[in-house]
Structure 1
Amino acid sequence: MSQVDYAAMSDPELKQYFLEHREDEVAFQAYLQRRRRRSSGVIAKVGDPDFDLKIEAAIRQKLQKALG
């Protein structure tokens, strides 16, 4: 069996590969690692007096980043 280069795969390709090869533990770990890297930290906690402002600021920041 040839060595699979997970790093060369895009996120959607890696996800599809894992879904088609569920027995591949290394692919699963590579997928989880990418998911953890993408996840963002806590923006605000429930009960925070500035909750709405922090959420709105995070949304604006993501939109600006997406629009370049």
Structure 2
Amino acid sequence: MSEVNYAAMSDQQLKQYFLTHRHDEAAFQAYLERRRSQPKAIITKVGDPDFEIKIQEAINQKLQARKTR
């Protein structure tokens, strides 16, 4: 059995590989590690007067990004 090179896969390829090979614990761990290593964007903070507007803008951006995939 050949070794799978998870590092050579794009994020989407790794996700798809894991979803089709759910028994592969190493793929799952590689996927989790990659997700944990991605920077988290801070959209706003509690108490920000524009809190709701910034949250809604972030949601809209995510929805638009999904439409363009």
TM category, shorter: 0.5 to 0.7
3-state SS of the aligned residue for 1:2? coil
Deviates more, 1:38-47 or 1:10-19: 38-47
**Secondary structure of 2:4's partner?**
coil
Q: What root-mean-square deviation, in Å, do the aligned CA atoms of Structure 1 and Structure 2 show?
A: 2.7
Aligned equivalents of 1:17 and 1:35: distance in 2?
A: 15
| Uncovered stretches (5+) of structure 2, i.e. residues with no partner | 59-69
Pairing 1:1-68 to 2, within 5 Å after superposition: 1-40=1-40, 42=42, 44-47=44-47
Deviating beyond 6 angstroms after TM superposition, the runs of 4 or more aligned structure 1 residues are: none
Aligned length: 58
Shift in Å at residue 43 of structure 1? 5.4
The offset of 1:37, in angstroms, is: 1.1
Q: If the length of structure 2 is used for normalisation, what is the TM-score? A: 0.61
| Residues 8-38 of structure 1 deviation map (CA, whole Å, 9 limit, x = unaligned) | 1011100000000001011001001111111
Q: Within 1, Cα distance between the matches of 2:19 and 2:39?
A: 20
After TM superposition, the score normalised by the length of structure 1 is 0.62
